[in-house]
Structure 1
Amino acid sequence: MSRKQKLREAVDLLYTRGCSAGTEATYTKLLLECVQTNDVVQAKRLQNHMDLHNTFKPNNTFLQNRLLHLYAKSGKVSDAQQLFDKMPQRDVFSWNAMLSSYSKLGLVQNLKEVFDSMPVRDSVSYNTIIAGFVKNECFDDALSLFIRMQREEGLGPSDYTLVSVLNACSHLLKLKCGKQVHGRIIVSGNSLKGKENIFVWNALIDMYAKCGEVEKARWLFDRIVDKNVVSWNSMVSGYLKNGQPKECLDLYHEMQLSAGINPDLVTVSSILGACFQIGLLDEATRIFRTMKDKDKVFWTTMIVGFMQNRKEEDALMLFREMLHDNVRPDSYTLSSIVSVCARLASLDTGKVVHGKAVCTGFEGDLLVSSTLIDMYSKSGEVGDAWIVFEMMPVRNVVSWNAMIVGYAQNGKDQEALALYNEMLYEGLKPDNITFVGVLSACGHTGLIEQGWKYFRSISELHGSLPTLDHYACMINLLGRSGHMKEAVELIKSMQDEPNHLVWSTLLSASKVNRDIEHAEMAASHLFKLDPLNAEPYIMLSNMYAASGRWEAVASMRSLMKDKKIQKFAAYSWIEIDNEVHMFVSDDRTHPQTPDIYKELSRLIKKMREAGYISDINLALHDVGDKEKTDSVCYHSEKLALAFGLIRKPQSVTAIRILKNIRVCGDCHMFMKFVSKIMQRPITLRDSSLFHHFVGGQCSCKDYW
């Protein structure tokens, strides 16, 4: 029979023998046994028995403190407080036990009140509250008390205190303060030699690494004689945080080969991160597969790593495998995989993940809800995004931004601006992303006056400076409204040097206005900023072709050839029954190619009967009208549309198509005709925004 079983039987015997059964010696012995076995249940039963029969109330401060410590350690703060309040005498141990109790439960305000009420404090008191503050992320308070314990109380810190304080410096990135603590260690005569100080060593390494002094961290690391796995982890993660994945991997191999120390979960998590930073996906997968008992941190690290390396399909497969292995995802896992669904506009999978979030209780989580809003918006389902937004118990700026930007992306520009005003009414301060959404909404509808109003309010009302993104939004608004000179003047007025986004925006606006002069100016800057980027060359070449300047087209193509600039492929994709189908222009590789072209030919004939005329100005070669017409008839989005109609002919739901570049004018007009004649809604997401085609109209109002 175990000690706990014997203890329970002894307490049971007290209850059966009645109120006069216990003596002081009996109660003291049993209570002490409760402390030694950490049996808080039997301790509570004994207390209840004594209170019920009023036969004996121990006044032994030593024993009471032991019980108090037991309650504190077990997180029974109410029991600890009741015992503390009844104690006729309290010493510093009693007060420290209460500090520990409130610290464990994260009750910072109670922790402060108890500490301030203490008649006398010792080093343990300071150790406890400093550690409690660090644990509960009150890092500045922890540092203030560290200074106070030395200057006002004259108490020297223990190793336990030093570790807590160094952790606070690490989180606050206060290198100067961390160096002062290091100096305090040296002045105190603590040579940091021996195994007993290894935790201080590790905290110092972690502090220097997190504060960017990775060489200093490595110097300290190399002085350590008896390194443990935490020492190696501190240095490995330090290299990773400072953007040195190669050094991180080299140290990992040294750890295994030279030191003979087995890595733990923390080590491998850092190593996986290092692999993903330098694109070693196969190596990351190999390490991941060799690990046993993988927890959710490991799975999430792999999912995020694949996502960062544009391997969204692999991330989804890994998430399914994670669920199959009965590993419960947390909010970060769910938000990451929802972001993957948003990138792919994989609505069906996104809904499954949404259901998983509901089942696991994370639907109301701020991070998960915000990414769900983003996912539904990027899938064209802005109504579902609004439902998620409405159901959120608490919203922050990220939540509001996701909904405002979602509205703007989906042509709900007035709704976006109305929501922005509601956000201000709620007392939230807009940030840079908020104004990107608001200015984008103005840009889609040509609201120049309102756009200027919001742009100026960034500095005049909200005390911030417009970013390059905000300038790009205004340039887009002005340029697409035909105010090219104003757009150029705005660029000239910028304090910062215009970046790639600013000039690309001007180039796109120039294309809309067929303004070759300003297009050439924007392209010349882009050639210098990113000489190998094909986009400005292609866009300018297309403008030359549209205006019949074939010599300029040939010259531009020759320039691209001389500079060995690779033209990127324009492609579209559509998801049918959880399977993604991708198309390029004039694609003949799909298994259903004959059916697709037959359906597209039928559509083209039907649309022409209704008045559709191909825009041959978009043809890029100096050929006859028939050849020009043929060259625009088989763009990738038209092929995806035909395939969608073949696979889902009777459905009333929208056909969803995604394209990696901006949709051309001819395809845009074609989609409008199809949505009207075939009475079938179409959702097309291009690199600019969403186009919702319904009844011959587009949500962008032909302004994209």
Structure 2
Amino acid sequence: MLQRCIQNGDHLTGRAHHCAILKTGNCLDLFAHNVLLNLYVNGKSLTDARKVFDEMPERNMVSWTGMVACYAENSCFLESFQVFSDMRRIGFRPNHFTLAAVLKACVGLEAFDLAKGLHGCALKTGYEPNLFVGMGLLEFYVKSGDSGDASRIFQEMPKDDVVPWSFMIARRAQSNMGKEAVELFVQMRQAMVTPNQYTFASVMQACASIEAVELGTQVHCHVLKHDKNTVVGNALIDMYAKCGSIKDARLVFNGLTKNDEVSWNAMISGYSMHGLGGEALKVFDMMQETDVRPNQMTFVGVLSACSNGGLLSKGEAYFKSMIHDHGIEPCVEHYSCMVWLLGRLGHLDRALKLIKEMPFEPSLMAWRALLGACVIHNDVEIGKLCAKHILEIDPQDESTHVLLSNMYARTRRWANVATVRRSMKTKGLNKEPGLSWIENQGTVHYFTVDDASHPDKKMIYGMLEWLNMKTRQESYSPDRNAVLRDIEDDQKERHLWVHSERLALAFGLIKTPSGSSPIRIIKNLRICADCHAVMKLISKIVKRDIIVRDMNRFHHFENGLCSCGDYW
């Protein structure tokens, strides 16, 4: 009867049976006591489970392991280890289930020395190759940062189960090792192991992190043959959005049988990232017509959409509705979005006032947002104030020094620029060099400003000369203010044409045939105003779609226009 209650998840009836046992005075044998213990363990009734355990007249390995696992699974890690220690003191030898449970407790406690001792115990008892023990050891070595031993444990585990493969792929994807995660996925398929939904979700995350849309599309085809659930669908939406294929992200979203809060948030954030604020807000309106409730992440996406589109009245209305209509207290991300929205539109005083009114200590994120707006609007005084607050929190913040230098350069205060650069040199800080990259036939090609190291440099610079000529025929006029250096105008014009994204574009035009898929370029810094204008013209001249992902968002250049509407 107790076992049937456990199978059905009917813990209330199981408790009633326990009461009947106590009233009738029936004595339970060891087996029945273990079943009763299991009832409370499965029902997550830790207090009752411990009471049954303490009242047992005798215990075996099942009893001890059940109690160790009960505490570990419910994050009572110290209690789990204490029960394990009691078990060892009276002479019980742990089995693979016990070792797996207590390893989980050690990871939770970050007791890595104890976990190493348990690894020794697993070696002595021959349980190291066991799947449950191996997974516990994998989790321990990954969390302790010992990637070498983690890899060794993984190599020694049985390779016919998807669980260790999924674990290692997920950990590599989460550790910004997207390329390694994808390589491991390929090895898994070569070993004829069938992926599960978590494997697919993790490899999609890896593809998104390295922005490998072609590889992600191949994995998508693989997904269609095996698994179509919401978890995998959400990962596909995120992957396509981060790789610049927002239309494909929407197709996946529309094809899901059930959209949960992650699906809605991924779609809203994806549209926001692509500068399509209107579409993001339409999706939010659709979400409110379902039974899925918005959460904090939803409003981060919504407010980001308003910020990226310059939608001030809508942004303010959504910010107020968070509390009044949805009962969600704004966090630092929401305030930062509002600061950027106000600042980008030139309302710098209002943005500063909002920072000062925050119900908590202003974060680096908020001050950086306002500083970035000050650079755009050349407000030196508020910009200096922002930089002062940021450097009080983090004196080694490299980006703040660079933004401060750029702000002075825009207002031609070259002496101040020199002072900032001297300060950076004294602190040992270096400006991150502009870098753009483009993928061609599975190989990534990197370019820096005025790069002459590429094997195809002659063809690349020849293409740039042709593009320069064609854009001038279309009335292109260089924006010399985009060059933040104290040099002559003719030098500024030459410097603009050797920006890294233009070199990457020239390479893409040389290597990919006309009429093929869009040219996709990734840049580690913000695209400058002159490059933005040139990209629009070139998309019209060569009749090619160009997608540039800079540090803030995507820009889709098509037939002389950009998806951002020239607001970024």
Scaled by the length of structure 2, the TM-score of the pair is 0.92
The Cα shift of 1:147 comes to 4.3
| Counterpart in the other structure of 2:167 | 301
Gaps of 5+ in 2: none
Is the aligned partner of 1:230 residue 2:105? no
Q: Note closer, same or farther for the CA distance 1:533–1:265 as it changes in structure 2 (3 Å cut).
A: farther
Aligned to 2:78: 215
Q: C-alpha distance in 2, partners of 1:558/1:518? A: 22
Return the offset for 1:233: 1.0
- Deviation sequence 1:604-640 (CA, Å, 0-9, x none): 2332343333333333433333333343332221111
1:355 aligns with 2:221: yes
Q: Distance in 2 between matches of 1:150 and 1:412?
A: 60
CA distance in 2, matches of 1:569, 1:636: 10
CA distance in 2, matches of 1:557, 1:258: 60
What is residue 91 of structure 1 aligned with on the other side? none
1:661-703 per-position Cα deviation (integer Å, ceiling 9, x unaligned): 3222222122112112222211111221110111221111111
Aligned letter for 1:605?
M
Alignment of 1:189-268 (within 5 A): 189-190=56-57, 192=59, 196=60, 198-224=61-87, 225=91, 226-242=93-109, 244=110, 246-247=112-113, 249-257=115-123, 261-268=127-134
The one-letter code sitting in structure 1 at the alignment partner of 2:175 is N
Q: 1:161 aligns with which of 22, 36, 43?
A: 36
Among 185, 195, 203, the residue aligned to 1:319? 185
Following superposition, the deviation at residue 167 of structure 1 comes to 4.2
Whole-Å Cα distance in 1 between the matches of residues 67 and 391 of structure 2? 47
Task: Identify the residue that residue 480 of structure 2 maps to in structure 1.
Answer: 616
Report the alpha carbon displacement of residue 180 of structure 1 after superposing the two structures with TM: 4.7
Aligned residue number for residue 504 of structure 1? 368
Alignment-derived partner of residue 93 in structure 1: none
Q: In structure 2, what residue type is equivalent to 1:567?
A: K
Candidates 522, 529, 551, aligned match of 1:665: 529
Return the offset for 1:168: 3.6
Residue 227 of structure 1 aligns with an amino acid whose one-letter code is P
The within-5 A match list for 1:369-380 is 369-380=233-244
Higher relative CO (Cα under 8 Å, sequence separation at least 6) belongs to 2
Check whether the contact 1:240–1:248 (CA below 8 A) recurs between aligned residues: no
Question: Is the counterpart of residue 651 in structure 1 residue 515 in structure 2?
Answer: yes
**Distance 1:273-1:637 versus aligned 2 partners, 3 A rule:** farther
Distance 2:455 2:147 in 1: 31
- Residues 163 and 568 (structure 1 numbering): CA distance in 2 closer, same or farther, change over 3 Å? farther
1:700 aligns with 2:568: no
My pick for the range that moved more, 535-544 or 251-260, is: 251-260
TM-superposed CA distance for 1:378, in Å, is 1.9
For the 8 Å contact 2:128–2:134, the answer to whether it is kept is no
Do 2:208 and 2:238's aligned partners in 1 also have CA atoms closer than 8 Å?
A: yes
Letter in 1 for 2:97: V
Query: SS state of the match for residue 222, structure 1?
Result: helix
Aligned residues: 557
1:542 offset after TM fit, Å? Answer: 1.4
Distance 1:577 1:586, change over 3 A: same
- How far apart in 2 are the matches of 1:191 and 1:500? 59
> What is the alpha-carbon distance in structure 1 between the residues aligned to residue 167 and residue 233 of structure 2?
20
| 8 Å Cα contact 1:662-1:686 kept in structure 2 | yes
Structure-2 change in CA distance of 1:356 and 1:245 (3 Å): farther
Match among 34, 42, 46 for residue 178 of structure 1: 46
Give the alignment partner of residue 333 of structure 1, picking from 189, 196, 199.
199
The answer for the alignment partner of 2:211 in structure 1 is 345
Residue identity opposite 1:230 in structure 2: F
Contact 2:233 2:256 in 1 (8 A): yes
Shift of residue 380, structure 1, vs aligned partner: 2.1
Which residue of structure 2 lines up, in the alignment, with residue 402 of structure 1? 266
Pair 153,289 (structure 1): closer, same or farther in 2 beyond 3 Å: closer
Deviation, 1:441, is 1.8
Deviation at 1:651, TM superposition (A): 2.8
Please tell me the residue identity of whatever aligns with 2:50: H
Cα deviation 1:553-593 (Å, max 9, x = unaligned): 22222222222234334322212223222222233332222
Conservation of the 8 A alpha-carbon contact between 1:306 and 1:315: yes
CA contact (8 A) 1:273 1:305 kept: no
Letter in 2 for 1:354: H
Question: Does structure 2 retain, via aligned residues, the 8 Å contact 1:404–1:438?
Answer: yes
Contact 2:2 2:39 in 1 (8 A): no
Helix, strand or coil for the counterpart of 2:207? helix
Verify the 8 A CA contact 1:166 1:207 in the aligned structure 2.
yes
Paired amino acid for 1:201: W
Q: CA deviation at 1:241?
A: 3.6
Letter in 2 for 1:163: N
1:586 touches 1:634 (CA, 8 Å); kept in 2? yes
Q: Is the 8 A contact 1:245 1:275 kept in 2?
A: no
C-alpha change, 1:594 and 1:483, in structure 2 (3 Å) is same
What one-letter code is carried by the residue in structure 1 that aligns with 2:53?
Answer: I
Q: 1:686 aligns with which of 534, 544, 550?
A: 550
Paired residue type of 1:327:
V
Q: Which residue of 2 aligns with 1:467?
A: 331
| CA distance, structure 2, for counterparts of residue 132 and residue 350 of structure 1 | 41
1:529 and 2:393 correspond: yes
- Structure 1 CA distance for aligned equivalents of residues 70 and 417 of structure 2: 58
**In structure 2, what residue type is equivalent to 1:240?**
V
Alpha-carbon distance between aligned partners in 2 of 1:529 and 1:271, rounded to the nearest angstrom: 38
3-state SS in 2 of match to 1:310: coil
Which has the higher Rg, Structure 1 or Structure 2?
1
Q: 1:546 aligns with which of 410, 419, 431?
A: 410
Find the aligned partners of 1:304 and 1:338 in 2 and give their Cα distance.
10
The equivalent position to 2:245 in structure 1, one of 368, 381, 384, is 381
* Deviation readout 1:497-533 (Å, 9 max, x if unpaired): 2222222211222222222222222222222333333
CA contact (8 A) 2:119 2:137 kept: no
CA distance in 1, matches of 2:51, 2:21: 20
Does the 8 A contact of 1:229 with 1:263 survive in 2?
no
1:593 to 1:163, Cα distance in 2 relative to 1, 3 A: farther
Is the 1:236–1:251 Cα contact (8 Å) retained in structure 2? no
* Aligned with 2:469 (options 600, 605, 624): 605
Q: In the alignment, what sits opposite 2:384?
A: 520
Q: Residue 126 of structure 1 aligns with which residue?
A: 2
Q: Secondary structure at the match of 2:241?
A: helix
Alignment partners' CA distance in 1, 2:504 and 2:225: 35
Assess if the C-alpha contact under 8 Å between 1:245 and 1:277 holds in 2: no
Contact (CA 8 Å) 1:411, 1:699: kept in 2 or not?
A: yes
Equivalent position amino acid for 1:445 in 2: G
Match of 1:504, SS state, is helix
Task: Check 1:333–1:490 CA distance in 2 against 1; reply closer, same or farther (3 A cut).
Answer: same
**Would the aligned equivalents of 2:367 and 2:389 in 1 still touch at CA under 8 Å?**
yes
Do structure 1's residue 490 and structure 2's residue 376 form an aligned pair?
A: no
CA contact (8 A) 2:201 2:232 kept: yes
Cα RMSD over matched residues?
A: 2.3
Letter in 2 for 1:238: A
